[in-house]
Structure formats: structure tokens, C-alpha cells
Structure 1
Amino acid sequence: MMTDHDRDLKQKKRQGDGSSEILLFQLGPVQDFIAQARSTRDLWSGSFMLSWLMANALREVVTHGGLHDEDVVFPSLKDNPLMLALRDREAPVTSELALIPNLPNRFLALVPKGTAADLADVAARTIRDELESMGKAVWQWLPTNDADPSCKERWDTQIAAFPQMIWAYTAWPADEPWRDAYERVNASLAARRNTRDFAQWKPVNTEATVKDSLSGKEECIGDEVFWKKLTEGHSQIFTAASHRYGAMNLIKRLWMHVEDIEAKHDINYLADKLNFKEKEIWRTLRVKDLPSIAKDNKTGSYVALLAMDGDKMGTILAGRESADADSPQYHTEVSQTLSEYALYDVPKLVREQFKGHLIYAGGDDVLAILPGDQAVACARALRDAFKARGQAFGFEASCGIAVGHQNAPLQMLVKEAQRAEQRAKHGYGRAALAISLYKRSGEIIEWGCKWESGALDLMAKITELTEAGKLSGRFPYALAALLRPYALDDEKDTARLETMRPVVEADVRHVLSRQGEGLKGGEREALATEINRYLEACWQPPKSSGGIAGAQAQKAETTLRPQDFINLFLVETFINRHHGEN
């Protein structure tokens, strides 16, 4: 049912009436802060901290400005579980939904004329006040573990330096199209982001101090006596005895940690802020560690970090590719679709279907940890759900996966997954998947493909035939051994590759005759044909589709990647290593 406010918003469909301003607000850093993690709990906590700060800011902006939720164009606040729980302690919201980190690090709001600067200040002040409150809750716990009170000044200084907040606003003059006003404020924010602030850092003391083990920047809180007691007395929280942390990473580790729900001194910050029982919070926050996630592999002890991001979302949100998109109403509809995907599609796929742990789901942006052999299938399912959910808007996504041993540094895997995602976007021209595989021996294998290239179907076929006992798990290694003398990773000459192709096709058939003895009837020839079709795709760059903006993306469309041919098989057999080499 359309409210009066909805009708008002419809009336502003295409052009301003001179009574509004557009406010765009952003906090950060995001990826670096989240990646500063030693455990899956750290990853989740860092993500949720940012969502929690943004939720508090949005609540105060809407309240202080006398706004409707629909005035927040992005993200959509409609039925958002965290916002509902934060506003109303009696709201029928489960902790499982409310504690999904699903609010992005920016918001776009349509506000009354003359109020944008004040509301931006309200958002920034709210975030600083809430972070200070979280810091106070954690600091009250630290002195019970012999934290030196003299460290309080350093503690407060580090909290005051986080996060970085920027905003921009613009008038929406009468008769100006929405798209023009939105692109102007977006460009203003980008210009502000590039105008870096360099406030002079005033050290609390001039003595040399150990740096934070995860960030490498901030000075750690406390002396060695404090850390010895902390790591010995709370070994479940501080699993690395040699690690030392600054204020923000201590807050990330402790602000919602409950070792014992009956303990008087444990910190359960959200139980005080939201209407959830402590036992419910404790149960929801029981996060799997990497070995526990790795156990869900068929065999082996490898995990995967998955990072997915929507393609050209700025273009979609701006409505540049749709004649019907020049309105805040359209922008709101896109936001609502992204919210529904993050809240309902992503948790179901990651948690229930693929036995993973969801770190973050902020619309088009997903970060998750999965058993190594589930990551590719999960990535494909997430992309398909995203594309289907946003079909009306032309949604598409790229994904990066980093596969490593359960004992590999988690911080490294997160960063490598994010790099792989960028490789999918800029190396493969978007609408793509890129994988980085890190073996314990030190070998690194990189591979990628377009979603619609047929490569993932071939990978699934190889898995199916191997599990059925028709194809040996040694097939990829035997083929790689034959092709290694060709130095494919260095070959960029299309003519030379075309000359070599019949030889490689013959090698494929030869290896299939030795390693595919279980293939019956026409199965061997059908598989050889499918493999050779993928060989042609890798060795003959496709014609540019013309649908990807930017010179870098256009170049990616025509980049030769002959090594991708063999790396598909090497990646497949390793992540399904129950039939491959240990």
C-alpha cells in the first residue's frame, strides 16, 4: 500500500523542486580494517562493527532530520533486522538476522533544503560517540586483567583517530534531473576522498613501543606483564601468545566476547543495547574456526575465502543505462533488491547449502569462509542468485577466491581473495571468477574464467567423472607434465599458439587414453571435444563484446591466457584433493 510519502517521492520522480538536498556520507577504512584478523571471529566482528556504527548513524539522521525511511535512498532501511532491533527493543527480530553485517559503509539520503551539513555532522558525531561507548565498555574489563591506567590516554587517542568519515551534499534545484544531481554529489564525494587529511599525530609518549601485530601501525596497549596475564588467563580469546594489539583491534576482539554467560566481568555489549537475551547472543556468536570449517571438506584441510562484488553498480545506481531510471524511486528499488539479496539469499546459500561462515553481506558485496571444495559451487550459486534477484536492473557480479591451508594466516587469505576479485574484474573483464590457490609447499596457482565461458561446466564434468572412477585423479598432472616444455605461461603469440594447438590436442587424447580407461563408448571422445573447445577459448582471444566500459576492461577481453587451460585441471583436482595429489 502506497503511503502519502511514497506519493510525494513519486512526484519527485525525475526532477527536483528546489526543496531538497542530496547527502552522501561514507566511513572507512573498510577492507583493511576487516582484514586485520587472526580468527573468523575477528573477521565477523570487524564487519559487524562497521555495520553497527552505520546503523546508529542512520537511526539518528532519520530521527534528527524528521525523515522517513524512504528518504534514505541507499541502503534500503525497509524491514532491515538490525535497524528494527536498534529502534525497538520489542521488535520481533531474531539475533541470527540482526547480527548479519549487512549495512554498507555509505548512505545516500534525500533531506530538506538547508539540513544536509547538520545531518552529516549528526552522523559523524553519533559514530564517534558510539565508538567511544564501545571503548569504555571494553576498557572497564581491561583493568581487571592488570591493564596499566597510564595506557588510557593512548587508548582514547587511538579510538579518536578511527574511523575516517567524509561526506558531500548538493542542492537539487527545480527542474534538474535526478541523475545529474546524483552524479554531481558522487563526484564531489570522490574529490573529497582524494583530498587527504594529514592531521599532525601527537604521540602519547616518545618511548619505543611494540606495534599492533595485525595492523603494524598503532602502538600496542599495555606492557609485557599485562599481555602475559591476558594470554595465559584468556587463552581462548588470545590464542597467539606473542601477539599484541592496539585499541581498535582489542575492541574488535573483546566488545562482544562472552567466555562464560554466567561471568560478571565478561563483555556483552549488544545484550545491553538490544533486546536479546545473553544466552541468545552467546549462541549466535559462536563462530566456527578454520579447522572446524575445513572438516566439512570431503577430505583434506583446506579452506577458501570468497569475496564477491557487483559489477558496474555505480552505473546501475546512477541509472545511466536505463531510460526509466532517472529518479530516486528507482534508486530506492535497486537498494531494496540489494538488501533482500543480502538478507535472504546469501545466508541461505553460504550457511545452509555450502556449510560456510558468512562474514559480511552488504548488498552486492559478500565475504565468506567456506570448505575448500565448496567454494567454486558457492560462488556460482551466489552469482546466479544475484543475477536473478536483480534481473530487472541488469545485475552482474565478479568473484575472487583464495584457497589455503587451515593454518595459513587468515589475514593473508582475506587480502588474496580481495586481490583475486580485482583480477576477475580487471583481468577478465568483469562477469568473471578468479581463483588463487596456495599450496603448503609454497606453490601458487592462479586461474580464472568468465561465468558463461563453459569453463565451470568443464570443471564440474571432470569432478563428476573422477568421482565416478572413470577418470584418474592423475589426469591433470600427467597432462601438465606433457605441456610443461611448451612454456605456456610465457607464450603470447597467437600464431605460435595456433601452430601448437594440434599438438596439444593430440596430447590431451593421449593422456585421456592412459588416465581415462574407465570412459566408455563415446565418453572419451566427447570429453576430448569439450576440453579442446576450452583450449580454443583460452588460446584465441574473443572479440570484445563492447558492453564493458573502460579501456582496462576492454583490454582484458582480448588478453591471451594459455596457462589457464592447464590450470583449470590443476585447480579442480587440488580443491577436490580426495582424488588428487596430497
Structure 2
Amino acid sequence: MSTKTLHFSLGPVQGFVAQARRTRDFWTGSFLLSWLTGQALNAVLAAGGNVNFPDIENDELMAAIKMGTQPKSIPEVATLPNRFMAKVPSDFSPEGCRQAVIKAWREIAEVVYIQYILPFEDLGCRTREIWDRQIEGFWDIIWAEGEEARTLDRRKNWRVHVPTIEPGDKCTLMGNFQELSGYTRSVSREEREMQDIFWDAVGGKVRHNLRRNERLCAIAFLKRMFPSVSKEAISGSVPDSFPSTSSLASVHWLDQVSAAQPDLCSRFAAKAVALGKISEQKVSLVRKLKKDKPQLADFYDLDPNCFFASSLENDNLWEDSAAETRNLRNELRGLLKQFKFVPSPFYALLMMDGDKMGKLLSVNEGNTGKISKALGEFSWAVPGVVKNYNGVCVYAGGDDVLAMLPLEDALPASVALREEYMKAFAEAYAEEPRLNEIDNATISAAIIFAHQNTPLQLVIREAHNTLAKVAKELTGRDSLAIKVLKSSGPNVSWSAPWDVIQSEKPSVVDKLVADFSTDEGKGFTSSFFYNLRPRFDLLANPDSNILDSAQAIQVLEAEYLKSRELRREGEDDAAFRRRAREN
């Protein structure tokens, strides 16, 4: 049978995934992108094609897609990348892939619309028209035919997708799209009131899934509500709740205080329970705590905003009962002062991406199956690693990773994931020694330490920029870049090659995280973050050859010690450094 090579891509990735206000939005965007790409893959398989990249032989999400409308078990993590390469019959039309994606997308959209928007359609102004326009015009589907691995990259240089022109008031989450009521607040008082009536009605239906003053477009609303209708939309259930950024920030504090002051935890829970408990998914450590200390279950189930004095003070976080609960929240702030530990309000977003994957595939065109298998082995290992480090795995497909973790766990998780990546390619090389340039099978990472109240869209955008511009472009790949998004003062980013970071254990970076995670992130002076920048600019330049790894660590230690002002009277440099390392 005569065949040809098909390259397929579904986007926009950032325009869909990164537009997120909650962890749930973030996860849903990644999952749906993966699910829809799987529909195109399934069309290839149905036509007798073979997928070269990615490796889908044992992929659980792909197995679920193949089951069609049968009830199925849906994996919690999206594992299919948004692009693939396949051998297809010479008469295969890529239009079949496009139609499969659009059909699945429409089916999901219709379920969401019927369940949550249709009952209030008459309250809007051309709401159905807005919905259909946005749903139909959103996806940018690209394909190309050719034997070279980079065929699709050249095809992307000329695009034919034209985004819809959106009038009226815009979505509060995806600002390029019109919100669904169709009214324009600036036109008249009547239109403003009608817009409020529409969203109040929808909000009453979806309850806590829509914040006050949130007015969403079709794309954002579908992402928000898909988990609640997944059983009907795709014949399988997906998680309906995810740990919030506040939950991730407080994980290790819960462990500390429940061990040190269990009675105070019980007293705190007895009062705070009036603010409500949450049923969100728990990370590994909190699940273990609930199992080991069932008497403190109410404490672990509290709204995590209860654990932060600044959150208790913020009426906007308690908008439904701000006035009624203000006295109680003030009382809880007083109780928080009795705990021996103060939770850090920071969490981490981890993003990883394989280096020069296009080139690696190009120089191994006869062995792309081995490269795909290595990437498959890595992506299947990722969720377990992230789970072991108390994280939420948002996406693990091919050479890409997206995860959210407690601040304390992000660095060790990134190291463990890099080791899994290197292991996967080492095993591939052992099976097939003819693989070319396997030493270039490296992975770079970016970690963003962000305040729990920093808009998630901003954190995601910073992660992409830090990974591309700092870890890869500036540092030369095979590197880790870290950025701290401080609530006040300048943000700081730095990076170093993995071998520098891992050259000493515990490294100065480990000490940074340990110290930064105490006392609501106030452990470091502003000068520490400021002065790290020029020093890491120096260390991260692979062409400078100014310092070796040992010297690099000494520079970091010097800045660390200087910022902490730990020197005792009469203490010499050697004793100063030795004591700091012991701390």
C-alpha cells in the first residue's frame, strides 16, 4: 500500500490553556487540547494509518478515545501532545482529522450549553449567536505532508486561520472574546442591568464555579464547566476539583502544625468550620495526614484561605459573607498568631520542555519510533513523580511537563523528572546504539515561585517566557531557570546548568527554598534577590568560562550569607561558611 507522512497540529495552545483563573481551568484546557488531538489520531488509526510520533501504544487517554461512546475510565492527566506525525494511506484526506476534532468539540460545547446556558438564553441578547460564532471559529488546525520531521514547522510560517472579530463587552478571562450576555454596559443603565440579570441567573445555576463579576465567553465558560458534564460529554468522568494555589502553599504548614500543636488545630477548626469546608482534591501528603490523624479531618478540609492572615483580612475572598464573617475572621487571625509556624503564601509552577526535539527527530528519521518510545516512557512516569512530590500534574505529553507544586517540593521534583527523562533516553540508546546525537536529548525547566493570589494567567505566561528566554536561550539549554514573583518589589529570575545546580547537596538553591518558605516569604532581604541577578547572569553564560561549578557555588553562598547577616562577632570566613552550611 502506498503511504505518505502526515504532520498535524492543533492550536492555539497558549490561547486556550494559559487563559486560566483557577487550577481547574488550567487542567481542563490541557486535557481538552489533548483529548481533541486524540480524535484526530483516532481518525488516522481508523483509516489504517500508523502513528510515528507520539508513542500511543500504551497511552491510557488514547485507549479511552478508541472506546468511542462506551462508558470508560478517563486518566487524570493529559498525555497526548497537540501535534503528531503519522504514516497514512496515500489517498487519506487530512480533512478527516479536522472533522473529527470539530465534531468532538461541538459535542462537548452543546452539552455545556444545554445544561447551563440554554435555560437563560432568553435573558441574553443573541447569546446563542455569540456561542456558535466563538465555538466554530476558535481552533487553528494545521497539517502538512512530507517526509522531513520539520515539515510542519515550515507550514506554520504561513497561516490561514483568522480569529473572529468580537464586538461588545469582553470576557473577563479571555479578553479578546465577547462575553455571552451580549449586552454592553456602557450603552445604558438598562443594558448594564440586563447583563447583571443574565449572569446572576447563570451564576445561580453553576454556583461556586462562577465568581461575582465574572462574565465569560463561550470558550472560557466551556472550560470552566466541562468537568461537571464530562460523563455526558465524553462518556467518562474527570476530576471535578483540584487543589487551589492556597492549598498548595499551605501543604507543609499543615504537616508542621498538626504534629506540633494538634490541640490548637482542633480549636482553630472548630471556629473556622463556620466559613465552610472544601471538597477539593487533596495532594499526597494531606491525604496521608487525613488517614493518620482522622481527628483533625475538619482542619485539613478547611478553606485554605483560613490559614493566611492576609486572606482572612481580604473581604473580596469572602464576598458572599464578608460582613457577616468579619468578626470571626478577625478572631481566626488572632488564633493564627498562636501557631509556632507561619505558612508561606508561595507555591510553585513547574514547566519543562525537551531541548531541540525537532532536530533530534530529524537526525533519527529512520528511528523516530525509538525517540517516541523514550518520550512515551517519560510522559507516563511524570504523573507519579509529581504526585510523590505533592503536586498537581496538569499535563505530561511527549517532552512537555506542566505541574503545580508546594514551594518546598518544586526543586526536588524537577530534579527527579530530569532524571526520568535522561533515563528514558539512556534506555533507548541501550536498545538502539545507532541513535544519533543522543547526548542532545536534554530537558530544560522553569520554576515560578508565585504568591498564591498572583493571577494564574500571569504565572503561566512568566513560566513560558522564563523557560524559553532564560533556561534555553540565555543559559544554553539543559538548564533550570527560576523566577520569583514577589508581591512587592522587583521580580527576579536566574538560571544555571543542571550540573552546576546539582554539584553540591544540599545546594545553595536548596537553602534558598528552605529559607524562602518560612515566615510568609520574608526570610530574604530584597538585596539577596537583586544581587543574585548579575551573579547568575555570570554563571549562566556557557561561553564565559569564568567560573567552574565549585566557584559558582561559592559565589552563591557569599550572596546568601551576606543577605542573611548571620556572621557572629569575631567569626572568621571559614567558620562563618561552615556554620551556614550546617544551618
Would you call these one fold, judging by a TM-score over 0.5?
yes
C-alpha spacing 1:80/1:520, structure 2 compared with 1 (3 Å): farther
Aligned-pair CA distance for 1:368: 0.7
Aligned-pair CA distance for 1:32: 2.5
C-alpha spacing 1:487/1:365, structure 2 compared with 1 (3 Å): closer
Q: Verify the 8 A CA contact 1:307 1:400 in the aligned structure 2.
A: yes
Please list the CA deviations of residues 107-126 of structure 1 after superposition, one character each: whole Å capped at 9, or x if unmatched: 111122232xx1x1100011
- Partners of 1:305 and 1:444 lie apart in 2 by 15
Query: Which position in structure 2 is the counterpart of 1:79?
Result: 58
- Asked if residue 256 in structure 1 is aligned to residue 227 in structure 2, the reply is yes
Query: Which position in structure 2 is the counterpart of 1:421?
Result: 467
- Partners of 2:556 and 2:375 lie apart in 1 by 44
- Residue in structure 1 matching 2:250, options 274, 284, 295: 295
Structure 1 alignment gaps of length 5 or more: 1-17, 171-180, 258-267, 531-578
Query: Which position in structure 1 is the counterpart of 2:386?
Result: 350
C-alpha spacing 1:478/1:74, structure 2 compared with 1 (3 Å): closer
Please list the CA deviations of residues 553-582 of structure 1 after superposition, one character each: whole Å capped at 9, or x if unmatched: xxxxxxxxxxxxxxxxxxxxxxxxxx9xxx
Q: Verify the 8 A CA contact 2:27 2:394 in the aligned structure 1.
A: yes
- Partners of 2:350 and 2:8 lie apart in 1 by 27
Aligned-pair CA distance for 1:401: 1.3
- Asked if residue 45 in structure 1 is aligned to residue 28 in structure 2, the reply is yes
Q: Verify the 8 A CA contact 1:432 1:448 in the aligned structure 2.
A: yes
Aligned-pair CA distance for 1:219: 0.7
C-alpha spacing 1:271/1:486, structure 2 compared with 1 (3 Å): closer
Query: Which position in structure 2 is the counterpart of 1:548?
Result: none
Please list the CA deviations of residues 31-86 of structure 1 after superposition, one character each: whole Å capped at 9, or x if unmatched: 231010000000000001111111112112211x123xxx1001112021112122
- Asked if residue 220 in structure 1 is aligned to residue 165 in structure 2, the reply is no
Q: Verify the 8 A CA contact 1:304 1:402 in the aligned structure 2.
A: yes
C-alpha spacing 1:242/1:517, structure 2 compared with 1 (3 Å): same
- Residue in structure 2 matching 1:57, options 8, 33, 40: 40
Q: Verify the 8 A CA contact 1:311 1:430 in the aligned structure 2.
A: yes
Query: Which position in structure 1 is the counterpart of 2:276?
Result: none
1:229 alignment partner AA = A
Query: Which position in structure 1 is the counterpart of 2:160?
Result: 197
1:424 alignment partner AA = A
C-alpha spacing 1:465/1:192, structure 2 compared with 1 (3 Å): closer
Aligned-pair CA distance for 1:460: 3.1
C-alpha spacing 1:359/1:487, structure 2 compared with 1 (3 Å): closer
C-alpha spacing 1:233/1:190, structure 2 compared with 1 (3 Å): same
Q: What are the residue-to-residue correspondences of 1:399-410 with 2, within 5 Å? A: 399-410=445-456
Aligned-pair CA distance for 1:364: 0.7
- Asked if residue 121 in structure 1 is aligned to residue 95 in structure 2, the reply is yes
Query: Which position in structure 2 is the counterpart of 1:174?
Result: none
The 3-state SS of whatever aligns with 2:81 is coil
Query: Which position in structure 2 is the counterpart of 1:382?
Result: 417
Q: What are the residue-to-residue correspondences of 1:57-456 with 2, within 5 Å? A: 57-63=40-46, 65-67=47-49, 71-88=50-67, 94-95=73-74, 98-115=75-92, 118=93, 120-143=94-117, 145-148=119-122, 150-170=126-146, 181-183=147-149, 186-187=150-151, 189-197=152-160, 199=162, 201=164, 209-222=168-181, 223-239=195-211, 241-257=212-228, 268-271=229-232, 273-274=234-235, 276=236, 281=237, 284-298=239-253, 299-318=343-362, 320=363, 325-327=364-366, 330-343=367-380, 345-351=381-387, 353-391=388-426, 392=429, 393-394=438-439, 395-422=441-468, 423-454=470-501
**Range moving further from structure 2, 189-198 or 454-463:** 454-463
Structure 2 alignment gaps of length 5 or more: 182-194, 254-342, 430-437, 516-520
- Partners of 1:219 and 1:486 lie apart in 2 by 41
Aligned-pair CA distance for 1:197: 2.1
- Partners of 1:509 and 1:440 lie apart in 2 by 21
Please list the CA deviations of residues 303-324 of structure 1 after superposition, one character each: whole Å capped at 9, or x if unmatched: 1111100011111112x2xxxx
Structure-2-length-normalised TM-score: 0.69
- Partners of 2:81 and 2:384 lie apart in 1 by 20
2:154 alignment partner AA = A
The 3-state SS of whatever aligns with 1:336 is helix
Q: Verify the 8 A CA contact 1:145 1:229 in the aligned structure 2.
A: no
- Partners of 1:41 and 1:505 lie apart in 2 by 37
Aligned-pair CA distance for 1:251: 0.9
**What is the RMSD computed on CA atoms of the aligned residues?**
4.1
Aligned-pair CA distance for 1:229: 2.1
1:164 alignment partner AA = D
Q: Verify the 8 A CA contact 1:479 1:507 in the aligned structure 2.
A: no
The 3-state SS of whatever aligns with 1:33 is helix
Aligned-pair CA distance for 1:270: 3.5
- Partners of 1:135 and 1:511 lie apart in 2 by 56
The 3-state SS of whatever aligns with 2:64 is helix
Aligned-pair CA distance for 1:87: 2.0
The 3-state SS of whatever aligns with 1:25 is strand
Query: Which position in structure 1 is the counterpart of 2:332?
Result: none
- Partners of 1:48 and 1:506 lie apart in 2 by 42
Q: Verify the 8 A CA contact 1:212 1:245 in the aligned structure 2.
A: yes
1:78 alignment partner AA = E
The 3-state SS of whatever aligns with 2:251 is coil
- Partners of 2:41 and 2:532 lie apart in 1 by 60
C-alpha spacing 1:168/1:243, structure 2 compared with 1 (3 Å): same
Q: Verify the 8 A CA contact 1:379 1:399 in the aligned structure 2.
A: yes
**Range moving further from structure 2, 511-520 or 48-57:** 511-520
**Range moving further from structure 2, 44-53 or 512-521:** 512-521
